[in-house]
Amino acid sequence: MRHCLPFASTLIVATLLLSGCTLLPDREPPPPLVTSGEFQARLDQLEGAVTSSCVTAQQGRLDQQLQQQQALSADVREVGSLLRQLRGEVARLDRDDDVPQVASQCSDSPTRLDNKEILGRTEWIGLPGVGTYLKARIDSGATTSSLSATEITRFERDGENWVRFKLGLNEADSVVDSVRDEWIEAPVERRVRIIQASGEDSRPVISLLMTLGPLRETVQFTLNDRTHLDHPVLLGRRFLMDIAIIDVAEQYLHDRPEFPGGRPAEEAGTDEAADRDEDEAETEE
């Protein structure tokens, strides 16, 4: 009996030890080790994503600042143009004070008729957003106004279609010299199809603030190269409608606007002389 007890005790201890081993939870295998090459690749990928995000955000801020700067420049130019026009009006009123009252009562304004401005067949216009004056031919036969442009390049900004271009000018064209080779950017309002003898052409249409004498209007211009013509701007009947009429016997009824870097308005007569002497019947525009 004494010999059986140690054997039984040994058997029980062995059974407990074996059962205890089966109760231990299974251990998960350790995660695979990441090699230095994989770690560097992940690090490079994260660095590239952060860099791309920063570049995109920075470019967006730069585009926004550029638009704000262009708008501010246009406002400054517009204020300067308004100030110069106001000074001209004050000087004109001072001169009118010296004219006898009888004469002023007998004469009506030569540039207005039935609340519409009278325009000659050729006039000076101002583009405050660009900062220059240009000669314009007034043509009621054309539907849309046109602006001479070269190097027209389409691009996308904030999901919208834009164009970048330079004014299409000849050496003889009167303009503020600093804007001759200046890039101009504007959103595309629409495109028009032009049918000519040489075929069809699709042209972008943009909107620009324009001044002509007392008129201040946002005008839609088609962009195309007019360097083979006498005038870089053509004003069509969409601009004329309800605000102006044409006196084809006259030219330059309104003063040339002034812009920084340009010549004074009183010197415009030299630039107008060639147009006053030309034979309009031979002009093709």
Residue 96 host element (H or E): helix 36-96
* pLDDT tens column, 123-134: 999 999 999 999
Q: What is the pTM of this model?
A: 0.61
Domain chopping of the chain, boundaries: 110-282
Sort 133 into a burial class: Cβ within 10 Å, 0-12 / 13-18 / 19+. Answer: buried
Contact indicator for 131, 179 with CB cutoff of 8 Å:
yes
pLDDT averaged over every residue in the chain: 80
Most distant pair of Cα atoms in the chain: their distance: 155
Distance CA 14, CA 51 (A): 65
Residue among 233, 254, 230 at smallest CA distance from 136: 233
Contact indicator for 246, 121 with CB cutoff of 8 Å:
yes
* pLDDT tens column, 159-203: 999 999 999 999 999 999 999 999 999 999 999 888 777 777 889
Q: Pick from 15-29, 54-68, 109-123, 241-255 the range whose average pLDDT is largest.
A: 241-255
Q: Which residue has the higher pLDDT, 20 or 12?
A: 12
Structure tokens at 267: 């010197």
pLDDT band at 13 (very low <50, low <70, confident <90, very high): low
pLDDT of amino acid 201: 81
Distances (CA, A) of 10 to 2, 7, 17, 22, 23: 13, 5, 11, 19, 20
Distance CA 14, CA 229 (A): 112
Q: Which residue has the higher pLDDT, 207 or 114?
A: 207
Distance CA 64, CA 192 (A): 29
CB neighbourhood size of 61 (10 A): 10
Sort 162 into a burial class: Cβ within 10 Å, 0-12 / 13-18 / 19+. Answer: middle
CATH topology of domain 110-282: Cathepsin D, subunit A; domain 1 (2.40.70)
Residue 198 host element (H or E): none
